[in-house]
A and B are shown apart, each in its own frame.
Chain A
């Protein structure tokens, strides 16, 4: 049961990721990325991380990707046309490089990963545990990320405002 669920949602995630890379229009890519995030949220639930799964949907799929979709709709970014001087070098380098990265990562995964298996229900990262860790052990990074968000808000507001004379 766990294996079937994992395989279904892993297949959805990989299919949406391939769709992201292959599609011409940015909005289809953006919605494929939302699909990847949804599939990953379910996989987090299979791993027992329920708070992170909900946070993934609320923050990533529900806020960050909405921002992406807004920008694509506002800029009316059309389909990617073929560039004037097609770069054979990028194609020559791109696909083998990807396969090399994938091969290297697979090697390390196969040989270095711990030999254990995951069954749904053995461990649950409840919101209580995450909250307790966030506010005791990781309090300093938590406060610093709040400052980080403040700086990001300021940066975005400064960059996007109109020039006032």
Chain B
């Protein structure tokens, strides 16, 4: 009984945080891409465009939700449901932090800790190909079908290097459970180098990390691999015929997939919630220090603001940052918030990498994309797996 209640509460918290993150991830993306392109991005709706996601949600929900008459109605409605359901379910196996104790209840910061957590994530990403394929098929539209077939072929081709890139660090951790994988990256070698998978002997998994990130770009259909939904080549690819809430569902599924894959990369390669240098050297103070610095910067800018409105909004931001800094330093909340901060900052860095690459690189042509997967990434990941296996066999007792 207690278990079900705790899990329900955790589900509520994680769902709320996830949905907010998805909405604001879109805001971050628009702002970052805008600044890369030397413009400002959303600026008018709310202070610095912060209410833009809310405006978008209202717009998408109130648009006319039409089902065109030439589509296959059952699959047309099932495809976005399948996409978004699978994308949101995959969060349930991701651990956000160590075991915590809240009001006397000890619980993991994770919804479920499965023995086969990594395999569940791979399975969900395999089955989510159907959402894309069905969307293209049901639309009864040659551009949508072509986009869907290309997207599905791309996704299943890049699943192979993804799985092999996941298998290499698993050789060093000997477990498929995500929590045990992160626990195997605790501690520091030589006293100050973190034992994350990218730094851990006998074979630092740097190449595997790069392969994983490249395959992650392809799995989530992001630039440079986003030919299937390219606007100028294929109208809009597999979601041509979709509008309002169903289109919003595909969008949400894409961002949720991005968050899941970045979380998986953090857990497998970057050490999950472990800080980069030991607590003895002061890594417990970094979160509070960073937020306090952000608050100070906001206060400084509010003295000579660019817009007159900012004289009021920037001190509010500063107050929020100082409050978070205090929360990170408080001894009751810090065992919960500090690991969460490290996890979120690593995931945030990887998401920033996704957005940065989107603003910078051109897109691959379809045959270049497929040749890259089969003729380069797949052999490299196999050779890397062999090299890791050799290193582990020779240098582990």
Contact = CB atoms under 8 A, between A and B. Distances in A.
A47 interface: no
B360 interface: no
B116 A51 contact: yes
Contact of B127 (A55, A62, A127): A62
Interface of A: 27, 31, 34, 50-51, 54-55, 57-58, 61-63, 66, 69-70, 73-74, 124, 126-127
Given A50-B114, A66-B129, 15 more contacts: A34-B130, A54-B116, A54-B123, A55-B119, A57-B123, A57-B126, A57-B127, A62-B123, A66-B156, A70-B153, A73-B137, A73-B145, A73-B148, A73-B149, A124-B115
B94 interface: no
B374 to A, nearest CB: 11
Contacts of A70: 133, 149, 152-153
A34 B176 CA distance: 25
Interface of B: 114-116, 119-120, 122-123, 126-127, 129-130, 133-134, 136-137, 145, 148-149, 152-153, 156, 159, 176
A58 B156 contact: no
Contacts of A63: 126, 156, 159
A127 B149 contact: no
Question: Chain B at the A interface: mostly helix, strand, loop or mixed?
Answer: helix
A31 B82 CA distance: 12
A54 B120 contact: yes
Nearest to B125: A62
A31 B137 CA distance: 13
9 nearest A-B pairs in the assembled complex, by CB-CB distance: A62-B126, A54-B119, A57-B123, A58-B123, A54-B116, A58-B126, A50-B116, A62-B127, A66-B129
A127 B115 contact: yes
Contacts of A57: 123, 126-127
Contacts of A55: 119
Given A58-B122, A58-B123, A127-B176, A69 B130 contact: yes
A45 B118 CA distance: 16
17 contacts: A55-B119, A57-B123, A57-B126, A58-B123, A61-B123, A61-B127, A62-B127, A63-B126, A63-B159, A66-B133, A66-B152, A66-B156, A69-B130, A70-B149, A70-B153, A73-B148, A127-B119
B200 to A, nearest CB: 21
Please indicate which of the listed interface residues A57, A61, A62, A126 has the most CB atoms of chain B within 10 Å of its own CB. A62
B133 A69 contact: yes
Contacts of B137: 27, 73
A29 to B, nearest CB: 13
B366 to A, nearest CB: 15
A72 to B, nearest CB: 9
Of the candidates B130, B137, B153, the one having the most CB atoms from chain A within 10 angstroms of its own CB is B130
Nearest to A54: B119
